[in-house]
Amino acid sequence: MVPLSWYLIFSAILFSIGLFGVLSRRNLVAILLGIELMLNSVNVNLAAFWRYGTVTNITGQVFAIIVFAVAAAEVSVGLALVISVYRKRNTVIADEIDMLKF
Amino acid sequence: MDFLKDPLKVAADWLLGIFAGWGMPELWANVLIGFLGIFILVALLMVLDIFLVWIERKVVSRFQSRIGPNRVGPFGLIQPFADIIKLLIKEDTTPEGADRVLYNLAPILSMMSVLILWAVVPLAPSILGVDLNIGVLYIIAAGAIGTLSIIMAGWSSNNKYSLIGAFREAAVMLSFEIPMLTVMLIPTIFTGSMGIGAITQAQDTWFVFLAPLAAVIFLIAAIAELGRSPFDMGEAESELISGYNIEYSGMKFGMFYAGELLHAFTFGGFWAILFFGGYRFFGLEQVSAFLAIAILFFKAFIGYWIIMWIKYTLLRIRIDHMLAFNWKFLTPVAFVLLMATAFMNALLADASNWLYIGGMFLSNVLVAWISLEVARSASRRERERVEGGKAVEAHQ
Amino acid sequence: MTIDQIIFLVVAVATLIAAFRVVTTGNLIHAAFWLIAALFGVAAIFAILHASFLAVVQVVVYIGAISILFIFAVMLTRKDMRDQGPQLNRNWGFGAFLAALALVGLVFLVHGWSGVTKTAPAFPSEFDAVSALGNALVSPDAYVLPFEVASVLLVAALVGAVYVAYNRK
Amino acid sequence: MSTETIIWLIPLPPALAFFLIVLFTNRNKALSHTIAIGAALLSWLGSMIVFARALGVEHFGEHPFESSINWLPLAGSWFKIGVLVDPLTALTLFFVAWTVLMIFIYSVGYHNFGQPEGDHDQKGLPPHGATVEEHGNKHVVPSVEPMYSRFFAFIGLFAFGMFTLVVSDNLLTLFIGWEIMGLCSYLLIGFWHGKKSARDAAVKAFLTTRVGDVFMLLGIAYLYSVTGTLSFREIFTETTLHALQLIPSGVLGFSTAGLIGLLLFIGTVGKSAQFPLHVWLPDAMEGPTPVSAMIHAATMVSAGVYTVIRMFPLLSLDAQTMSVVAFIGAFTALFAATIALAQNDIKRVLAYSTISQLGFMIAALGIGAYIAAIFHLITHAFFKALLFLGSGSVIHGMEHGVLHTGNHKVDPQDMFNMGGLKSKMPITFWTFLIGGFALSGFPIVTAGFWSKDEILADAFAHNLPVFITLAIAAFLTAFYTMRQITLTFLGEPRTEEASHAHETPWTMTFPLLVLSVLAIGYGWLGIPEDFPILGGLLPNWLHEFAGATLAHHPEAGEFHPVPLLTSFIVALGGLALGYLMYRNVNSSAEDKLQFGFLKNKYYVDEIYEAVFIKPVTWFADKAVYQIMDKGFIDGILHLFGPGTQGIGDAIRNYFDLPFINRFLGDGSANVTYFSGEKLRVIQTGRIQQYLMLALILFIAIGAVLYFFVFA
C-alpha cells in the first residue's frame, strides 16, 4: 500500500511548485495557474486524510468539494478582473499593474 | 446456455484458464484480460463507425430525395471502406506555424472522448465495462475532454476560422453541459443512484413516461454537445468554412469525422439508456446477452436516426440566439423541472405506482406548458421591441 | 514495491513534471495545457484514493470548465499569438528560494508528524462514498450550511465576473 | 380543522388586517376595505362554525370547547392562556360576529367609498363634500373620507380585541382584549381629531374607562393572589368558590368573593357606562357612526356586561355585592332613560338608551336573572346596532340634503331639523322602526319584548323595587323611542334639507336589513315555556342552552300575569303617548319636556368638573408645576449648570488643549506622518512582492512558534 507520507510529500511539492509560479511569473493568468496548482495540492491532502482516517467520516471529501466551489468562483472572478484590467491598461504583466503605490 | 446468458464471464473464465495454464500470475492475467476486452470493444466500435458513415450517407440522401452511395458493393456497402482508403492515402498536411504537438494530439483526444464513454455503457445485464456509481458525471467529464480536443485543434491550427470555430464550439459545449447535467439528475432521482447500470435496472417503467420533458431537453442538449446541425457552431460551413477542423486532412480529419458520428450514435444510446430503458424490452434481455445488446443498439439507432432527422431538417441557429436559448430558456426550465421532479418524488414517495407515474407525467407536462407560455410571451415582447408594433401584426 | 505504489509513483512524477512545466514554460497556452495534464494527474491521484466522485468532479470542473476558461483568458489578453519577453519576473530567484523554503518546512513538518506512516484502512464493503457525500452535503446535521454558502458564493462570483468583465460601450 | 384550532384562529384575521392595512395597503382604499371585510368575514365564518358545532354537542355546558397552552413560566408551574367556548361564549360569538361583519360592510357606504375626493377635505375632519361637474351643471356630492384606510385598520384592531376578549379562558387575556378595545375606542372616538369636541371626547372616554379599569386590575390581582389562577374553569370550581365565599376580606363586611366581584364590577361600570361612570358614552357619539354602533352599542359596552355575566358565579356568592349591582343597574336604567327624554341629537338619544338598556342587564344580573341578562345582551346588541346604523343612515341622508342646499349651519343630527323622512328613506325607516319597536319592547313581535319581559318577570319574582324602577324605565324607553321616530320620520319635513334627503347606498341598507331580521327573529328563541298560547309552540331553547353554562341550572321562573301585563302596558302606552305628544311638535321650543336639568344630564358633568377636574388641575398647576417642578427641580438643575461649566472649562484649558490636543493629538499625527513618509517606499504596488513579504513573515512566525513556543 501507498503510505500516507507519499501523498503528503507529493502535495507539498505540488504546493511549492504552485507557490513558485505565483511568486515568479510575470503574467497574471500564469499566477492564477499557480494558484490552481496550490488549491489542487490542498485537495490531494484532504482526500488523502479522508482515505487514511476514518473512511466513513466524509468530511475530507466535503471540504474538497467546497474547495472546488471556491476555486471555480476564484477563477471566474480572477479572470474577469484580468480581462477588465487588460481592457483598461492593455497589459497583463503583474509588475506593470502597480498604480496602488506610494 | 451459460454462454448465451453471460458470454463475458464465460469467455473471461476460459481465457483465465488458458493464461493460468501458461503459468501467468492471476493478477497479470486479469489485467491482460481487461485490456483484451477494451481492445475488442474499441475494435468493434470502430467497425460500427465505418458503417455509421454509410448509414449517415444513405439516410441523408433519402432525406434529400437522392439514392446515396450505390456504386461500390451492394447498396454501396463497401463505400465507407473506399472513403477510408481515400483518407489514408491523402497527404497529411500540417500548417506552418501550427503547434505540432497539440495539433496532432487533438484528433486523438476527440476520438478518445467518445470511446471512453463506452466504458460505462451497460450493453447487457452482465456486460458492463465499469459500473461507476457516478456514471452520469462521467458522461459529462468525457464531454469535457471533447471540448478540450476542439480547443486544442482550433488553437493549434494557427487559423482564424478554426480558432473562432473552436471558441464557439467550446462556448456551446460548456453552456449546454449545464441543462444536460441537470436533466441527467432526473433519472438519478428516480433511481437513487448515478450509476448507469443501476439506472437501466430501475426502468421497470421507461423514464420517458415519467419525465418526457427531461428526455426532450436531454436530446436538445445532446445535439448541441455533439455540434450537429442545427447547433453546428464549430463547423458552420457557410461562415467558417469548416471551423475547428479546417486545417486537418487525411486520417486526422477522418478521426474527427468518425468521432463525431460515433459520438452521435453514442448519445443516441445514452438517450435510450437514460429514458428508454436501455437494453430492457419486456424481459427479452434476460433471454440472451446478445439479444440485450441488439435491443440496445436498436434503440440507439432510433435515437441516432432522430438526431440525423433533426440535423437534415433544421437550419443552423445563430450563435447568440443559441446561447440565449440555452441560458434564458433551457437551463431555467431544466432547473425548474429538476426541482419539480424532486418535489413530486418526495410528495409521491408512498403513492401507488400509477399515481406516481401520472403525477410525474403531469408535472412534466405542466412545466413544459408553463415554460412555453412564458417563452412565447417573452419572445412576443422582444419581437415588438425589435420590430415595432406593425411588423408584429404583419407576422400574424 | 507493489503495483499500487508503482502506479502512484508514475502518476505522481508525471503530475509533478506537468506542474513544473506549468510554471516554467514560456508559452502560456502550453502552460494552460500543461495545467490540464497536471489536473488529470491529480484526478488520477483521487481515483487511486478511491475518491471517485472527486476524480470525476475534478475532470468536469477543472478540465471541463476552469482550464477552458484559462485558455479563453490567455487568448483574450494578447494581441498576437506569440509571447513577448521573459515570463519570469526579476525576483524569480528569490521566489524560487521561498518556494523551496516552504517545501523544506512542509517536509520537515510532515516528517515530524507521528501519523505519517499510517496505511489506509480497508475500504468498507457496504460503504457508498458518493451517497455518504451527498447525504453529508445536504444534511442539516452535517454540512448543509457550508454547502449553501458555497452556492451563494458561486452565484456571487457569477454575477461579479459578468459585471467586472462586461464591456460597457 | 379541529374546533379548538378554529377558536384560536378566530381573533387573528382582523389583527392581521390591521397590520396589513397600516403597513402596506393604506394608500389603496379598495384593497384596505377588502382586507378588513375579508378578515371580518373569516372571523364570522369561524364563529359560525364554532357556534354550529357547539349546537351539536350534548351537555355542552359541561363539555365546552377548551384548549390552552403554557405561556408565562412561573416558579415551578406555568401561567396558561387558552380559549374557552361554553354556551355563553358561543352566544356572544354569534352576535359579535354578526354585528361586526355588518358594521364593517356598512362602513364602506358610510365613508362614501367610490365618491370623489373632497374639494378641501383634510385628514382629521369629516368630509365636506366634493363639487362635480356633470352635463355642465356643478353640484355637490358627498366626498370620500380622507383617512378611509385608517378607519378600517382601527376597526380591525377593535374586532381583534373583542374576539380575543370573548374567546379567552382567563381573566388576563380577557383584560388584554378589554384594553385593546379601550385603546381603539380612544382612537376611533377621536378619529376626526381635527375637531376639538372629538379630541375631548376621546380623552374623556379613555380616562373615564381607565378609572374602571384600574379597579378591575385590582380585582384581577386580588383574585390571583387568593386563588393562584385566573382561568375561569379553575375559579368556578366548587372548592375555590366555597373558599372565596368563606374568607372575609376585611372591607365593609364583604367576603373575598364579594370584594373581588365588586372590583371587577367597577371595571364593567366604566366599560358599560353605568352610573356614575356613564358620562363618556354620550360624548363618544363624536366618532363616526359605525364606531358608535360598534363600540357603544353592539360590542364594547357588551363586553362589560359579558364580563359580569362571565364572573356571575363569583358575584352571586355575596348578597351585598349583588344588591350593589342591582341598585346601580336599576338606577342607571331609570336615570339614563330620563335624560334621553330631553335630547334632540338623534345619536345622543340612542346613547342614553344604550346606557339605560345596559342598566337593565346589570339590574337583571343583580337580582340573579342570569339567562334574562344574556338574552337581553344579545337582543340588545342586534337592535341597538340596527338603530345606530339606522341613525347613521338618517344622518347620511340629511348630509346629502345639506350638501344639496349648501347651508352648512343646519345640524344634520338634530331631530328637529328632520321630519317626514319616511317617504324619502323607506328602507331606513322600516328597519329603524323595527329596531325602535324592539327597543321599546313592542309585544310579541320583537325580540326586545321577550328579553325585557323576562327581566321584568324575574324582577317581579325576586325584587319588587327593582321591578318598579325597571317598569318605569321601560315605559320611558318606549316613550322616547316613539318621540324619536315621530320627530325623525313622520309628519312633514321641517327643513329644506330634510326634504332633499334620500336613501343611502346598498352597502348601508343591506346591513340594516340583515340586522332587522335578527332583531325580530332572535326573540323567538327565548319564549318562556308557560307563556300563554305561544309558550308551547317553540321550546325555550335559549334557556336550556345558556343555562347550561352555570353549574346549577337556573329554574325557569313561574309565569305570572302581572309582569306580562306591565310589559304590554308600558310598551304600548309609551309608544302611543310618544306618538300623540310629538306628532305636532315642530321645534324644540314646543317640546314640553325640555327641562333644564334633563337637558343638561342632571349636571353630572358639571359636578365632576367642579369636584374632580378643577381641584386636580389646580393642584397640578400650583403644587406640582409651580413649586415642585419649577422651584425645586429646576433650581437643582440651575445649580448644576454653572458648576459643571466651570469644571469643564478648567479641564479644557489645562488638560485637553495642552495635553490631549498638542501632545497626544498632534504628536501622534506627526509620528504617523513621519513614519509613513519613511515606510511608504515598501509599498511598491507589486502584488508578488507583498506576497513574498507575507510568506517570509509566515515562515518566520511559524518557525518561531514551532521551535520556541510549542517546543
**Same domain membership, residue B175 and residue B34:** no
From C60, C71, C128, residue closest to B141, measured CB to CB: C60
Sequence-separated (6 or more) residues with CB below 8 Å from residue C99: A16, A17, A19, A20, A23
Q: Which chains touch B (3 or more CB pairs under 8 A)?
A: C
Write down the domain spans for chain D. 3-115+147-599, 606-682
Vertex B295: Cα angle to B289 and B297 (nearest 5): 105
Query: Is the C-alpha dihedral spanning A91, A95, A96, A101 positive or negative?
Result: positive
- The nearest CA of chain B is from the CA of C42 a distance in Å of 15
| Stretch B309-314: mean pLDDT | 87
Subunit contact A24:D688, Cβ cutoff 8 A: yes
Whether residue C149 is contained in a domain is answered as: yes
Q: Read off the amino acid at residue B58.
A: K
Decide: B244 and B107 in contact? Cβ < 8 Å: no
Three cell numbers written together for B273: 439508456
Q: How confident is the model at residue B51 (pLDDT cuts 50, 70, 90)?
A: confident
- Alpha-carbon span C128 to C123, nearest angstrom: 10
Contact by Cβ (8 Å): B230, B318: no
CA distance A13 to chain D (A): 16
Per the domain annotation, does A101 fall within a domain? Answer: no
Is C90 a member of any domain? no
Q: What pLDDT score was predicted for residue A13?
A: 92
| Residue B281 confidence (pLDDT) | 82
User: In this structure, which amino acid lies at residue B300?
Assistant: A
- Least trusted range by pLDDT, from B2-11, B121-130, C92-101, D433-442: B2-11
Bridge partners of D130, per DSSP, are D141
D210 vs D208: CA distance, rounded Å: 5
pLDDT grade, residue D557 (50/70/90)?
low
Instruction: Determine the Cα–Cα distance for residues B195 and B132; give it in Å rounded to an integer.
Output: 6
Q: Bigger pLDDT: B12 or D329? A: D329
Average pLDDT, stretch B54-60? 87
Specify the DSSP element, H or E, that contains C31: helix C28-48
| Residues B334, B217 contacting (CB under 8 angstroms) | yes
Radius of gyration of chain D, Cα coordinates, nearest whole angstrom: 33
In tens, the pLDDT along D115-140 reads 787 777 778 788 877 787 777 777 77
Q: What is the mean pLDDT of residues D316-327?
A: 86
Confidence band, pLDDT 50/70/90 cuts, at residue D538 = low
d(CA D611, CA D231): 39
Check: CB of residue D255 under 8 Å from CB of residue D244. yes
Q: How far is C101 from chain B (nearest CA, A)?
A: 35
pLDDT value of position B334? 92
* Cβ contact B–D (≥3 pairs, < 8 Å): no
Q: Quick one: which of B84, B125, B70 has its CA closest to B257?
A: B84
Chain D positions in Cβ-Cβ contact with residue C89 (cut-off 8 Å): 688
Q: Which domain covers residue A75, as residue numbers?
A: 4-96
C-alpha–C-alpha distance, residues D121 and D129, integer Å? 8
- Say if the Cβ atoms of C98 and D689 lie within 8 Å: no
Of A22, A31, A101, the CB nearest to D684: A101
Secondary element (H or E) of residue C77: none
Closest CA to D240 of D258, D228, D249: D228
CA-to-CA distance for B297 and B45, rounded, in angstroms? 12
Q: Both B157 and B254 in a single domain?
A: yes
How does residue B331 score in pLDDT terms, banded at 50, 70 and 90?
Answer: very high
Neighbours of chain A (3+ CB pairs under 8 A): C, D
**CA gap A55, A43 in Å, rounded:** 16
Do B135 and B69 lie in a common domain? no
The predicted structure's pLDDT at residue B218? 92
Q: Among all chains, which residue has been given the C-alpha cell 438519478? A: B188
Q: Number of folded domains in chain A? A: 1
Residue D556: per-residue pLDDT? 64
pLDDT digits (tens, 9 = 90+) for B378-396: 888 888 888 775 555 555 4
The CATH number for A76's domain is 1.10.287.3510
Question: C145 lies in which domain range?
Answer: 130-169
Residue D529 scores a pLDDT above 70: no
Show which of C82, C100, C117 is a domain's final residue: C82
Q: Which residues of A touch C154 (CB under 8 A)?
A: 69, 72-73
Residues of C with Cβ-Cβ distance to B27 under 8 angstroms? 3
Residues of chain C with Cβ-Cβ distance to A62 below 8 Å are 133, 136-137, 142-143, 146-147
Residues A32-44 as b or e (16 or more Cβ within 10 Å = b): bbbbbbbbbbbbb
Q: Are residues B278 and B205 in the same domain?
A: yes
Alpha-carbon gap, residue A22 to B301, rounded angstroms:
51
- The answer to the question of residue C120 being in a domain is no
Question: Which of the residues C54, C68, C137 would you substitute to probe the B interface, choosing the one with the greatest number of B C-beta atoms within 10 Å?
Answer: C68
User: CB contact, 8 Å: A19 with chain D?
Assistant: yes
Average pLDDT of D168-196? Answer: 88
Q: Is the pLDDT of residue D469 over 70?
A: yes
Strand, helix or coil at D73? strand
pLDDT value, residue D146: 83
**Please, which residues bridge with residue D133 across strands?**
D138
Tell me the longest C-alpha to C-alpha distance in chain D: 116
Same domain, B5 and B124: no
**Contact status, residue D450 vs residue D379, Cβ threshold 8 Å:** yes
Nearest CB partner across the interface for C91, out of D688, D696, D703: D688
Averaged over D459-471, what is the pLDDT?
Answer: 86
The answer to whether the beta carbons of residues D272 and D362 sit under 8 Å apart is: yes
C105 falls within a domain: no
The rounded distance, in Å, linking the Cα atoms of D288 and D272 is: 19
User: Beta strands B122-124 and D77-85: pairing type?
Assistant: unpaired
Give the separation between CA B249 and CA B90, rounded to whole angstroms.
Answer: 7
CA distance A20 to chain D (A): 10
CA distances from D164 to B288, B362, D100, D290 (A): 76, 45, 14, 20
Q: Measure A101 CA to nearest chain C CA, in Å.
A: 18
Which one of C87, C88, C94, C97 would you mutate to disrupt binding with D, by most D Cβ within 10 Å of its Cβ?
C94
Establish if C100 belongs to a structural domain.
no
Same domain for B82 and B94?
Answer: no
**Measured between alpha carbons, how far is B250 from A27 in angstroms, rounded to an integer?**
38
In whole angstroms, what is the distance from residue B7 CA to residue C60 CA? 34
pLDDT above 90 (res D449) = no
Which range has the worst mean pLDDT, B116-130, D435-449, D452-466, D584-598? D584-598
Distance between CA C105 and CA C112 in Å, rounded? 11
D542 to D151, D328, D655: CA distances (angstroms): 35, 26, 86
- Mean pLDDT (whole number) for A34-51: 90
Residue B161 to residue C1: CA distance in whole angstroms: 51
Task: Summarize pLDDT for B223-244 with one digit per residue, the tens.
Answer: 888 888 788 877 767 777 777 8
Our measurement of the distance from residue B87's CA atom to the centroid of its chain's CA atoms, rounded to an integer in Å, reads 25
Nearest CA in chain B to C135: B192
Considering only CB atoms, which chain A residues are within 8 Å of D694? none
A96 touches chain C (CB under 8 A): no
8 Å CB contact between D39 and D17 = yes
- The residue of chain B nearest to residue C81, with distances taken between CA atoms, is B158
pLDDT at B383 (0 to 100): 83
Residue D632, pLDDT above cutoff 60? yes
**Number of separate domains in chain B:** 2
Query: Is B27 in CB contact (< 8 Å) with chain C?
Result: yes
Contact C91 D702 (CB under 8 A): no
Residue D301 pLDDT: 83
What pLDDT does residue B389 have?
A: 57
What pLDDT is recorded for position D641?
85
CA distances from D319 to A7, D254, D325 (A): 95, 9, 10
Q: Both C68 and C138 in a single domain? A: no
Interchain CB distance below 8 Å, C102 and D699: yes
Q: Residues D238-254: pLDDT tens digits?
A: 888 888 888 877 777 77
Q: From chain D, pick out residues whose CB is under 8 angstroms from the CB of C105.
A: 699, 702-703
Residues of chain C falling short of pLDDT 70: 1, 79-85, 169
Higher pLDDT, A56 or B65: B65
Q: Do C59 and B144 touch (CB under 8 A)?
A: yes
Are D96 and D299 in contact, with CB atoms under 8 Å apart?
yes
Query: Could you report the predicted ipTM of this complex, rounded to two decimals?
Result: 0.74
Residue of A nearest to C38 (CA): A37
Torsion, Cα A38 A39 A41 A42, to 10 degrees, reads: 120
| Count of alpha carbons within 13 angstroms of residue D426, beta-carbon side | 1
Which of C89, C94, C105 faces D699 most closely, judged by CB atoms? C105
CA count, 13 A, side-chain hemisphere, B60: 12
Is C49's CB within 8 Å of A21's CB?
A: no
* pLDDT average, residue stretch D578-600: 74
Count the Cβ atoms, other than its own, within 10 Å of residue D469.
24
- How high is the mean pLDDT of chain D? 84
Which of C89, C98, C109 lies nearest to residue D696, judging by beta carbons?
C98
Handedness of CA D149, D154, D158, D161 (dihedral sign): positive
From CA D431, how far away is CA D383, in angstroms rounded?
10
Distant-in-sequence, close-in-space partners of B74: CB < 8 Å, separation ≥ 6? none
Q: Are residues B65 and B117 in the same domain?
A: no
Q: Can you tell me the distance from the alpha carbon of D478 to that of D442, in angstroms, rounded to the nearest whole number? A: 8
Contact B179, B191 (CB under 8 A): no
Q: Which residue has the higher pLDDT, A66 or D544?
A: A66
- Report how many domains make up chain C: 2
- Tell me how far apart the terminal alpha carbons of chain B are, to the nearest angstrom: 65
Domain of residue B18 covers: 1-87
Query: What sections of chain B are H helices per DSSP?
Result: 2-5, 7-21, 26-63, 79-89, 100-115, 135-156, 160-191, 196-201, 207-210, 212-226, 237-240, 250-275, 289-311, 319-324, 331-347, 353-395
| Higher-confidence position of B310 and C129 | B310
Kindly state whether residues C13 and C74 are assigned to the same domain: yes
Amino acid at D313: P
Contact B79, B71 (CB under 8 A): yes
Q: Which three cell numbers stand for residue B38?
A: 477494451
